[in-house]
Chain A
Amino acid sequence: MFPTPIAKTSRTWQLTYQTLLPVAMVLWLLPLLAVMWFSIKPGADFTTGNYWGLPSSFEGFANYFLVFTGSDMPRYLWNSVMITVPTVAGAVALSCMTGFALGVYRFKGNLLIFFMFVAGNFVPFQILMVPVRDLTLDMGLYDTRIGLVLFHIAFQTGFCTLFMRNFIRALPRELIEAARVEGVSEWRIFWYVVLPLMRPAIAALAVLIFTFIWNDYFWAVVLTQSPESQPVTAGITSFNAQYRAMYHLMSAGSIVAAIPPVAMFFAMQKHFIAGLTLGAVK
C-alpha cells in the first residue's frame, strides 16, 4: 500500500494525521459550510452587518419553510424529478440494447457505430444547440419537460452505450454461446441471460445519469423558460431574483437544490463510484 500505512508510522505522525484529517476536511468544505451557516440566520443579521457572528436567533426552520412555501421551489423540484427519472429510464433502456448489440455481435460497422456513440458523447453542447432548439420548437415541445427529456435520453445514450458495451464485453461469452446451442432466440438471450447479469451496471449508470441530468443547467436554459417546465438548476436564478439580497433565503434555496443528487450519492455510493470508474477505467 502506498503511502505507508499510518499504523506502521511513528506515534507523532499518527496523531498529526488524525488531527490533520478533520482540519483539511473543514477547509475543503469551507465555502459550503459558509452557505449552511447563512441559511440558518435571520434576515436581520444581514442588514445589521452580522454576517459571520453567531445568529441573533436560529431561523433554520423558518428559512427552509419559506423556501418551500413562499416560492416556486417545490414546482422546480418536481420538474427536476419529472425530467430526471424518465431520462434515466429511457437512456438505460436504450443503452442496454445498443450495448448488447455492440458487445455481443460481430458485424460490419460495429466498431464504427460504437466510436460514433463515444465521439458524440464528447462533443460540445453548443454545436447541437441551434438545431436542437429548432427541432424542439418545430415539434411544439419548447418549454416542456418532455422536450428536455427526449434530448437528454438521446445525448446520454452515447455515454451509456460506451459503458454498457464495455460491461457486456467483460461478461463470459460461453453463457451466450451455450444459450444459442440450446436454440434460445436472440431476444430471449438478451432478456433472460444477459439482462440479469447487467444489474450492477444498470444501478451504476442510473445513479450517475441521475446526477448528471439533475445538475444540467445549459439545456434547461436553452429548452425551457417558464416555471411550468424549468428544473431547479434553472429555477434557482428566478428564485434568487425573487429574494435578491436576502442571503439567508438564497442560501437555503441553494442547499435545497443541491440535496437530491447528494442524497442519491450517499445512498448509492458504491454504485456511483463503480460507475464513474468502471465506465472510464475499464
Chain B
Amino acid sequence: MTMTAMPETEIAAPPRRFRQQAIAPWLFLLPGLLFFSVYVIVPIIQSFQISFYDWNGLDRPDGTSTAVYVGLENYRDLWDDPDFWTSLRNNAIWLVLYLLAIPGGLFIALFLNQTVTGIRLYKSLFFFPFVISQVVVGLVFTWFYDPTFGMINELLGLVGLGPVNILGDTRYATYGIIAAGLWPQTAYCMILYLTGLNAVDPEQIEAARLDGAKGPKMLWYVVLPQLRPATFIAFVVTVIGALRSFDLISIMTDGGPGFYSTSVLAFYMWDVALSEFGFRMGYGSAIAVILFLIMLIYIAGFLWKMYRDEKGV
C-alpha cells in the first residue's frame, strides 16, 4: 500500500488502518468474483441473448457469428413442440416423486439412530450410494433392470411374475430412472436427519415420554418440529437434484425409448444443442432459460429465507 511511506505516528495510524479495511475486502473478493463472473454470471446473461437467435454454434471464417436474430420464435416453437411438453411433464413427475427421498431418509435415519455395536459402519454403508457417481448408479440400475438377467426379474420370477423390460417400456422407464435416483438421494436425506436427530433435545423427549407420548405422536409433535432445519435442507437439495437430473437419463435410456419419452428439460436442452442431429444453440438456450426460470422460484425462496435469518440475527 502506498501509505506505508508515511511516517508511523500516533495520528496517522487510524486513517491508514481504516483505509486498509475499506480496500481489503475487495482485494480478497477480486479473484473469486472474477472467476465467478466470467464463468457463471456472464454466461447466464449470454444464454438469455442466444435464446433470441437461430444459431448452429459456428463462426464464419472471418470470425463473425452465423447467428440470426429471430426474436421470440424459439419460444413460440417450444410451445408447439411435443417433446418439450413431454420433458416438462417428466420434470414434474421427477419433482413430485423425488420428494419421497425425504420421508424415506427420515425412516432410515430413525431405524439407524441407535447405539449398538457396529452401527457406525452400518450408517456409512447406508450412506454409501450417495458417494458413488450417478454414472455408476445408472449403470448398476440398468443391469439391475435388465430383462434377460437383471436381478429384479429374477426376483419377480420367484413369485411367478415378469419379465418386465422396465427401461424399454415407455410406461415404466421414467419411474425406473427415478427409483435409481432415489437411491442416492434417500441416503443424502438420511444423513441430514441422522445429524439432526443428534441435536434433538433429550430433555424434551424425556418430558414428553413422562407425559405418555410415544411412537408416531412423539415423532410428529416433539421430534419433527426440532428437525425442521434438516427437513428444509433436505427439501432444497432434493428439489435442486430433481431439476438437475441429467446423468441418469443420459446413461440409462439416452432419452428413449421412442422420442424423448424419458427426457427432462435438462436432458432435452443438451440433446437439442449438442446432439449429432445438428447444433441448435438458440433453441437449446430457450429451453435452458425456461429451466432456469423454474429453478429461480426455488432460488428466490431460499434466498428469502436466508435474508430473514440474516436480519433476524
**A contact set with B: CB distance below 8 Å:** 1-7, 17-18, 21, 24-25, 28-32, 34-35, 38, 46, 49, 51-52, 94-95, 97-98, 100-102, 104-105, 107, 110-111, 113, 115-120, 122-132, 134-135, 150-151, 153-155, 157-158, 161, 180, 183, 185-187, 190, 211, 214-215, 217-218, 221-222, 233, 236-237, 240, 247, 250-251, 254, 257-258, 261-262, 264-266, 269, 273, 276-277, 280-282
Q: Judging by beta carbons under 8 Å apart, are A127 and B116 in contact?
A: no
In the complex, what's the smallest C-beta–C-beta distance from B50 to chain A, in angstroms? 6
B129 is an interface residue with CB less than 8 A from chain A = yes
Which 5 pairs of residues, A with B, have the shortest CB-CB distance?
Answer: A154-B39, A215-B133, A131-B43, A101-B28, A98-B32
- Report A-chain residues with C-beta under 8 Å of the C-beta of B222: 2
Q: Judging by beta carbons under 8 Å apart, are A154 and B25 in contact?
A: no
In the complex, what's the smallest C-beta–C-beta distance from B302 to chain A, in angstroms? 7
B149 is an interface residue with CB less than 8 A from chain A = yes
Q: Judging by beta carbons under 8 Å apart, are A97 and B31 in contact?
A: yes
Q: Which of A34, A125, A128 contacts B151 (CB 8 A)?
A: A34
Q: How many residues of B contact A (CB 8 A)?
A: 103
Q: Which of A124, A261, A269 contacts B133 (CB 8 A)?
A: A261
Q: How many A-B residue pairs have CB under 8 A?
A: 280
Q: Judging by beta carbons under 8 Å apart, are A124 and B135 in contact?
A: no
With most chain A CB atoms within 10 A of its CB, the pick from B131, B133, B144, B183 is: B133
Q: Judging by beta carbons under 8 Å apart, are B270 and A126 in contact?
A: yes
Q: Judging by beta carbons under 8 Å apart, are B136 and A254 in contact?
A: yes
Q: Judging by beta carbons under 8 Å apart, are B291 and A126 in contact?
A: yes
With most chain B CB atoms within 10 A of its CB, the pick from A29, A100, A183, A215 is: A215
- Report A-chain residues with C-beta under 8 Å of the C-beta of B274: 129, 222
Q: Judging by beta carbons under 8 Å apart, are B36 and A127 in contact?
A: no
A to B CB contacts below 8 Å, 9 in the list: A25-B125, A101-B28, A129-B269, A130-B284, A215-B135, A222-B274, A247-B143, A261-B131, A273-B191
Contacts A154-B40, A157-B32, A185-B20: A34 and B218 contacting too (C-beta < 8 A)?
A: no
Known: A30-B144, A34-B151. 20 other contacts (CB 8 A): A1-B202, A24-B111, A35-B140, A120-B36, A122-B299, A124-B243, A127-B288, A129-B269, A130-B284, A183-B13, A215-B133, A215-B135, A217-B135, A218-B247, A236-B139, A251-B143, A276-B191, A276-B192, A281-B195, A282-B229
Nearest neighbor of A277 in chain B, beta-carbon distance: B195
Q: Which of A97, A155, A273 contacts B40 (CB 8 A)?
A: A155
- Report B-chain residues with C-beta under 8 Å of the C-beta of A236: 135-136, 139
B168 is an interface residue with CB less than 8 A from chain A = no
- Report A-chain residues with C-beta under 8 Å of the C-beta of B25: 101-102, 104-105, 107, 110
Q: Judging by beta carbons under 8 Å apart, are B116 and A32 in contact?
A: no
Report how far A261 CA is from B129 CA in the complex, Å: 11
